[in-house]
Chain A
């Protein structure tokens, strides 16, 4: 079955710097790659997603890139702010009801 690996597990950056989180997936049939943000004590929320027919997608300070050949995708956050501090999960799906999540990255943004 699908396996999603996520790195790093913890990331600490200075406010204003960029943060990059990387994920790899194993199932070449995966075609949908969402990213979720989980703030302390809350449920996860979708922040951006990308489909396999697109190589890059951007939404203000957040961007996601996808390399289908290498089976990896990355989240880029620019101009980080303290409110970006959270746990971020990447995920992959083949289009069914089973979304496979990575282990998560805890991002700390130091003011």
Chain B
């Protein structure tokens, strides 16, 4: 069982370049999330998708866009990369609780992005 798979695992970009981080989950989870992790700041939510076809902003959405066309895939795009977007990006998925809340988050292994 692969769980949550992210590609690529490493990427170096020049300022102004664009790229897409891909995330796939095989657990039939309804909800998916993109976080960024920076030293001393923990995990910060960029965007989330409560269900297929819907997306919403998290804590730090500026400079990013997302797409959830299929239930198993959640894409994170950087249209014009900036050095401030150098970070480790984590995708997660969950089956939300009936009573509310995300439920347990299942994380991918991360994608390390460096913007020069």
Contact = CB atoms under 8 A, between A and B. Distances in A.
B109 A101 contact: no
Contacts, number: 65
Nearest to A90: B42
Size bracket, chain A contacts: 20 to 34
A98 B104 contact: no
Given A36-B105, A43-B108, A97 B44 contact: no
Interface stretch (B14-22, B71-79, B94-102): B94-102
A89 interface: yes
Contacts of B108: 43
B26 interface: no
B62 interface: no
Interface residues of B, number: 29
B109 A96 contact: no
Given A32-B101, A98-B59, A103-B40, A43 B45 contact: no
A98 B58 contact: yes
A98 B40 contact: no
Contacts of A6: 42
Contacts of A103: 40-42
B108 to A, nearest CB: 5
A98 B56 CA distance: 10
Contact of B105 (A9, A31, A41, A99): A99
A96 B50 CA distance: 10
8 contacts: A32-B101, A42-B109, A44-B43, A44-B90, A44-B105, A49-B104, A93-B102, A96-B100
Interface of A: 1, 4, 6, 9, 31-32, 34, 36, 41-46, 49, 89, 91, 93, 95-104
